[in-house]
């Protein structure tokens, strides 16, 4: 194999290392472990053990090379039940490896064995380069050894001290696209821009503290591959929701590997800021039946959910669905979570299309994965956040996850937007403002509200675009403007898109402040997508997953500094009274905007101008006034 063009700086010293003797497998008689096998790579007293699951393969070959990718050695592996094992009589730390599987090629029956395909270990912890989409990944007999990344044998990783999560419910989550967040930041060195390490830069930490951010939520940073239709369009995946390796960090976003993430988490923790990882455990980037053979598909296709006729189930909309009814799939998920807690100290996880984790095939609120997480000593106290929908049958499960999980509340987003657009009564807004008890139920006194309230997220219009566009403008995505949400509950204040008209600009500024005022006054956890505090626009693109460019990158120099200061002020006031927003209000009092009594008919009348909501008691009382006619939300302590 030709050496990769670049190697991770964390492994550069290995390039100078003198290679030892050629690796040879250790026979069973020579002390190879036959019981208690652990998937992945493990250093043992006698050397290095490689274990991979492939129940239906007729043979497995370990392809082991030096750190530069040269001198590849092919080592036949030994079957141990559903697992295949190779024991090497030396420490292989720093070496590169992959697998080739032998067996039947019958995709219609779930058999994708092709020894021409280089396969990535599903338990890989580090890769030597990013994934590249190429037609040969799906072509029988086409060798992919020069295309597919090699996993890196890592030595024992340091474990971080386990402390309680820095984040608690009711705080502010700041959703971050790691690359787009810092790519254009003028104060961050070029070498750090677009990486995980940039989040620990003093200028970034100062910005987060100014906003009183309780935790950053990092959009996927594990290794992913472009969807196969993107390269011909000259586009690439900018979000990362198309993973191949669940534990390996993407070399482009995290060039320092697990050490870079661990150090960033540590520095954010020192600043009082938690870290939540957005994980995609619902599908892999191997896509539908026409997709590539890169990892699980070429090793263990039983990981994918299928119909009785053997066809892949596509409850994710991405071509395949991982089958959480199978114990080995759940174990891969649990091991992934444990890895990031044990070795990086992350505070929690947000799960993309989370109902997939509880399908068997229908959604089960008592699914085994929930009990496994709750019983795990490393995971039981972590923050778990569900995106509570997928596109499968019965896939909308808002309010149905475990009582100690938080959930993204899209009903909040839609109803708040509709209210300020002018087509929702005050009763709907009041319900959302007070924690959405109609969705999550009225909990026992003192229980934390589980709603994650947000006005905008990575998927959909930015907050600024919500008040500047009535329609999506996604032509740059190459799909004829058919992709993305069709209904955004947005309005343009008279002109579609950018405007220099002072009146229109003033109306938009007013609406943004009303929306933000509502968010920061709401019961439950709140989430702000990075850049929305400073008026970030995507030019009306509400599905910018393929726009790794200025459309999705934050324009720091052109930001709206007045809006940023306004948002920081709201966040400061909320942070000072955070206890009022964590739990459902038990003694809240509602009045009309003029201080009078609200009557039953007022709640559902589109003519009702708003309300005053009083929170707290004794010396800590907060009046929140929502005035639709003035298009303003004000606080009075």
Exposure string for 183-210, b = 16+ CB within 10 A, e = fewer: bbbeebeeebbbbbbbbbbeebbebbee
Q: Which two tokens stand for residue 251?
A: 């070399």
**Alpha-carbon gap, residue 636 to 622, rounded angstroms:** 6
Given a contact cutoff of 8 angstroms between Cβ atoms, the answer to whether 529 and 456 are in contact is yes
At residue 358, what are phi and psi to the nearest 5 degrees? -120, 20
Structural contact between residues 369 and 333, judged by C-beta atoms closer than 8 angstroms = yes
DSSP labels for 22-79?
PP-BPPGGGT---SS--SEEEEETTEEEEEEE-TT-SEEEEEEE-TTS-S-EEEE-EE
- Which segments of 101-201 does DSSP mark as H helices, in order? 178-182
Distance of CA 485 to the CA centre of its chain: 19
Beta-carbon neighbour count of residue 491 at 10 Å? 19
Reply yes or no on whether 410 is catalytic.
no
Both tokens of residue 282? 């619902």
Which residues sit opposite 176 in a β-bridge?
218
In whole angstroms, give the CA distance from residue 466 to residue 473: 12
The number of beta carbons lying within 10 Å of the beta carbon of residue 240 is: 25
Name the catalytic one among 126, 387, 390, 533.
387
352 among known catalytic residues: yes
Contact in structure between 509 and 434 (CB atoms under 8 Å): no
Q: In whole angstroms, what is the distance from residue 529 CA to residue 466 CA? A: 13
Annotated active-site residue in 126, 352, 511, 532: 352
Catalytic residues: 352, 387
């Amino acid at each position: 194999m030709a050496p990769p063009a670049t190697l991770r700086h964390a492994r550069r010293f290995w390039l100078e290392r003198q290679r030892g003797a050629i690796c040879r497998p250790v026979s069973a008689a020579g002390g190879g472990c036959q019981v208690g096998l652990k998937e992945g790579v493990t250093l043992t007293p006698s050397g290095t053990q490689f274990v991979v699951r492939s129940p239906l393969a007729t043979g497995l070959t370990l392809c082991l090379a030096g750190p530069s990718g040269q001198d590849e050695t092919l080592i036949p592996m030994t079957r141990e039940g559903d697992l295949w094992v190779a024991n090497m009589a030396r420490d292989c730390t720093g070496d590169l490896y992959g697998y080739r599987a032998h067996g039947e090629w019958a995709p219609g029956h779930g058999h994708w064995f092709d020894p021409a395909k280089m396969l990535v270990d599903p338990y890989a912890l580090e890769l030597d380069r990013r994934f590249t989409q190429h037609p040969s990944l799906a072509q029988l007999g086409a060798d992919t050894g020069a295309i597919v990344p090699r996993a890196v044998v890592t030595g024992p990783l340091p474990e971080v001290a386990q402390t309680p999560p820095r984040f608690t419910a009711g705080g502010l989550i700041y959703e971050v696209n790691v690359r787009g967040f810092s790519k254009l930041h003028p104060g961050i060195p070029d070498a750090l821009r677009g990486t995980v390490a940039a989040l620990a830069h003093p200028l970034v930490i100062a910005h987060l503290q100014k906003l009183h951010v309780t935790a950053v939520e990092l959009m996927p940073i594990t290794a992913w591959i472009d969807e196969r239709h993107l390269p011909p369009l000259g586009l690439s995946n900018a979000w990362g929701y198309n993973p191949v390796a669940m534990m390996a960090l993407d070399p482009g976003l995290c060039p320092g590997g697990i050490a870079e993430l661990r150090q960033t988490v540590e520095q954010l923790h020192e600043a009082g800021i938690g870290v939540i990882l957005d994980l995609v455990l619902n599908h892999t980037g191997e896509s539908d039946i026409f997709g590539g053979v890169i990892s699980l598909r070429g090793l263990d296709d039983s990981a994918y959910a299928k119909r009785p006729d053997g066809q892949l189930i596509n409850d994710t909309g991405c071509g395949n669905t991982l089958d959480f009814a199978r114990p080995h799939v759940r174990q891969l998920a649990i091991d992934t979570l444990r890895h990031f807690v044990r070795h990086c100290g992350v505070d929690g996880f947000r799960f993309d299309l989370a109902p997939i984790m509880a399908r068997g095939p229908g959604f089960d609120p008592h699914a085994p994965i929930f009990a496994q997480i709750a019983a795990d000593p490393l995971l039981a106290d972590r923050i778990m956040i569900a995106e509570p929908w997928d596109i499968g049958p019965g896939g909308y499960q808002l309010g149905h996850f475990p009582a100690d999980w938080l959930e993204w509340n899209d009903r909040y987003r839609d109803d708040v937007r509709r209210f300020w657009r002018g087509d929702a009564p005050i009763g709907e807004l009041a319900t959302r403002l007070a924690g959405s008890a109609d969705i999550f139920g009225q909990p026992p006194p003192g229980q934390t509200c589980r709603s994650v309230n947000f006005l905008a997220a990575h998927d959909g219009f930015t907050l600024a675009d919500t008040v500047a566009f009535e329609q999506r403008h996604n032509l740059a995505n190459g799909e004829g403007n058919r992709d993305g949400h069709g209904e955004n509950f947005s309005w343009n204040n008279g002109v579609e898109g950018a405007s220099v008209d002072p009146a229109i600009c003033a109306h938009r500024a007013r609406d943004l402040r009303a929306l933000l005022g509502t968010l920061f006054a709401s019961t439950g956890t709140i989430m702000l997508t990075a850049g929305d505090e400073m008026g970030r626009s995507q030019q009306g693109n509400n599905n910018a997953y393929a726009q790794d460019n200025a459309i999705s990158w934050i324009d720091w120099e052109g930001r709206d500094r007045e809006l940023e200061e306004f948002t920081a002020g709201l966040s400061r006031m909320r942070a000072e009274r955070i206890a009022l927003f964590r739990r459902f209000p038990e003694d809240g009092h509602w009045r009309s905007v003029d201080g009078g009594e609200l009557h039953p008919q007022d709640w559902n009348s589109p003519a009702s101008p708003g309300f005053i909501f009083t929170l707290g008691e004794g010396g800590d009382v907060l009046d929140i006034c929502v005035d639709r006619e003035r298009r303003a939300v004000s606080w009075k302590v």
